[in-house]
């Protein structure tokens, strides 16, 4: 059987050719009906001044997904000439493709504009331990350009305890942690907003809100409106179909960061996730060795785990005999 490393290398070598000339903005055409994989993995050569944070900002990627896709590479000093994988291929989140979908373990937001055959996707900072982001269905309830920030008393108390007292109001401007735009969610107290800090996008850094790169939040604000539905999910393992092949994409579960999960626990979550999919009953010959490697690696890259053509051939053989 092929190793996960070989599967990733094969995917990258093809995708690097296909990805040549793509723009950095992650507006991707939706796949055909019944398929789930969008985008292509890209590879860039690091310059001496590059960091993962800077590369992520340039290519609409979060810090932790860059780290996961490039194990063994120093995120602060990759080294001039080092091949850097840009994880710009995604399995679309499960469920309806409408409005905004946020998948917490991915640190990523997907937006499906109504009547258009594309998806926009952006990295996010989400709630840190003790200030977790919510899961559920909501909507955008208000949109504000150049917002002032009124820190809740709980956050003011936290900052005061650390010797960093906050004012009751932080006016718009470069010191405002909401950045140039905020979108209120119908869940009280939660926002999608920009930031006055570049570092932290694609990490657990906020008090529960969803933090975006400023150019990303402005782009999203130009696409959505008040009333746009928002679905927030917690799916560390995504399965998807593309051209007759089944793929698995694994991210570190949020609960693994809070309370260490064993590999057996993670395998159980993968199996339960797979059982929700139609493929579980279609006679697929899953590559369980590959699945174990993907779950252990948690690199966020879609990797093939089965081929529908092989399942069909096996079924035809059974009919013959």
What is the per-residue burial (b if ≥16 Cβ within 10 Å, else e) of 302-316?
A: bbbbbbbeebeeeee
- For residue 48, what are the CA distances in angstroms to 69, 81, 126, 130? 20, 8, 30, 37
User: Catalytic residue among 193, 215, 260, 267, which?
Assistant: 193
Strand pairing report for 191-193 and 210-211: parallel
Q: Give the H or E element holding residue 56.
A: helix 52-59
Q: Is residue 301 a contact partner of residue 37, using CB atoms and an 8 Å limit? A: no
DSSP letters of 289-302? HHHHHHHHH-----
Give the residue carrying structure tokens 């290398």: 9
Q: What share of the chain is helix, strand, coil (3-state, %, to 5)?
A: 30, 25, 45
User: Cα–Cα distance between 273 and 280 in angstroms, integer?
Assistant: 10
| Cβ contacts of 61 within 8 Å, gap of 6 or more | 55, 86, 87, 88, 123, 202
User: Cα–Cα distance between 102 and 113 in angstroms, integer?
Assistant: 15
DSSP letters of 209-222? SEE--HHHHHHHHT
List strand residue ranges (DSSP E) for 243-283, in order.
Answer: 245-250
How many CB atoms within 10 Å of residue 222?
Answer: 9
Decide if 11 is catalytic: no
User: Catalytic residue among 59, 207, 209, 251, which?
Assistant: 209
Decide if 209 is catalytic: yes
Question: Can you say whether the dihedral through the CA atoms of 75, 159, 102, 292 is positive or negative?
Answer: positive
Half-sphere exposure of 291 (CA within 13 A, CB side): 20
Q: Which residues are catalytic?
A: 193, 209
């Amino acid at each position: 059987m092929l190793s996960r490393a070989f599967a990733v290398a094969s995917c990258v070598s093809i995708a690097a050719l296909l990805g040549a000339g793509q723009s950095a903005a992650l507006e991707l055409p939706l796949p055909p009906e019944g398929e789930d994989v969008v985008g292509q993995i890209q590879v860039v050569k690091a310059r001496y001044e590059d960091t993962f944070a800077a590369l992520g900002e340039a290519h609409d990627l979060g810090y932790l997904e860059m780290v996961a896709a490039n194990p063994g590479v120093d995120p602060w000093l990759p080294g001039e000439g080092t091949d850097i994988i840009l994880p710009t291929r995604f399995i679309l989140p499960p469920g309806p493709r409408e409005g905004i979908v946020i998948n917490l373990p991915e640190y990523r937001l997907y937006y499906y504009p109504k009547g258009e055959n594309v998806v926009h996707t952006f990295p996010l900072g989400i709630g840190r331990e003790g200030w977790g982001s919510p899961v559920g269905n909501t909507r955008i309830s208000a949109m504000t350009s150049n917002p002032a920030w009124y820190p809740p008393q709980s956050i003011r108390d936290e900052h005061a305890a650390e010797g960093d007292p906050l004012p009751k109001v932080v006016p718009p401007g470069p010191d405002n942690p909401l950045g140039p735009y905020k979108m209120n969610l119908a869940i009280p107290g939660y926002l999608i907003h920009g930031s006055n800090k570049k570092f932290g996008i694609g990490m657990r850094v906020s008090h529960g809100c969803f933090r975006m790169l400023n150019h990303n939040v402005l782009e999203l604000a130009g696409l959505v409106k008040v009333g746009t539905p928002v679905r927030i999910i917690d799916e560390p393992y995504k399965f998807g179909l593309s051209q007759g092949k089944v793929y698995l994409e694994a991210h570190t579960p949020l609960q693994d960061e809070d309370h260490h999960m064993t590999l057996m626990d993670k395998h159980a979550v993968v199996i339960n996730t797979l059982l929700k999919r139609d493929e579980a009953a279609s006679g697929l010959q899953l590559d369980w060795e590959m699945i174990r490697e993907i779950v252990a690696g948690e690199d966020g890259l879609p990797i093939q785990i089965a081929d529908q053509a092989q399942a069909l051939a096996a079924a035809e053989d059974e009919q013959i005999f």
